[in-house]
Amino acid sequence: MLLNDCTEIHMKENMRIYGMFVVGICLLLNSTFAGAQTLPTVETVLKEYATFEAEIMKKTETEMNLRWEKLIADLQALQANLTKAGDLNGALAVRDKFNALTSARSGVYLTVFSDPGNLKSFSKFKAGDTLLFRVTGRDDGREIWGTDVYTLDSLLALVAVHTGTLKHGEIGIVKVTFAPGQPKYAGSLKNGVNSKEWPSYDLSYKMESLAYISPLNFLPTLPCSYKTILK
């Protein structure tokens, strides 16, 4: 009888230990699965970012549109006041800037090319053609000839500083307009850059900064080559 009681007690104890073991395993598995379920998937992370980006872009676009409307209203008021005051030259200057701004905001996508150094390889272009380049301004070079209108072999980086379009070390997008060759190019010292005189050149170019254009209007900067531009 005592043996049976001992055997029964051992069996119950073993069952209790086994039961605790099973419960422990179940709790461990549940904890593991629960942890796995809380880890985000790649799709979830990307979706959250896309939602955040869309919200920021929408907010930014709304704010920029409001600022744009105010800018246009301010320019129109300034032009009217200058006209009323008899300053026709000032009014015409404001009108030209207004037209440049509105044309730039037409939604046309613009291609920007990396700095080729100079434009000697662009001799096939004709006067009036325009291109955009991403340039870093420099004031420590000598390869520049002309003032306002420059020879084709003048470095864009030096011309950018000479014209005041960029400062030394400043990176920006500049607009280059090809111009007819000049019988003579005048040298000058401007903004720390000393351009030299030159007798004549077959083709020239001018440089200016762009009126404001949203970064959304720019395609990614492309490597600059003559073949690339002609495509």
CA of residue 105 relative to chain centroid, distance:
16
* CA pair distance 55, 48, nearest whole angstrom: 11
Structure tokens at 67: 């600022």
- Residue 134: closest CA among 94, 165, 178: 165
Is the pTM of the predicted complex or chain greater than 0.85? no
Neighbours of 74 (CB within 10 A): 11
Helix runs in 39-175, H state only: 42-84, 88-104, 156-162
Look-up of token digits 């207004």: 98
Q: What is the pLDDT along the chain (231 residues), one digit of tens a residue?
A: 433 444 444 444 545 544 454 445 555 555 554 445 567 787 787 778 777 777 787 777 778 778 878 888 888 889 889 989 988 888 888 887 777 776 656 544 457 888 999 999 888 899 999 999 989 999 999 999 999 999 999 999 999 999 999 999 998 889 999 999 999 999 999 999 999 999 999 999 999 987 544 444 444 444 544 333 433
Q: At what angle do helices 88-104 and 42-84 cross, to 10 degrees?
A: 160
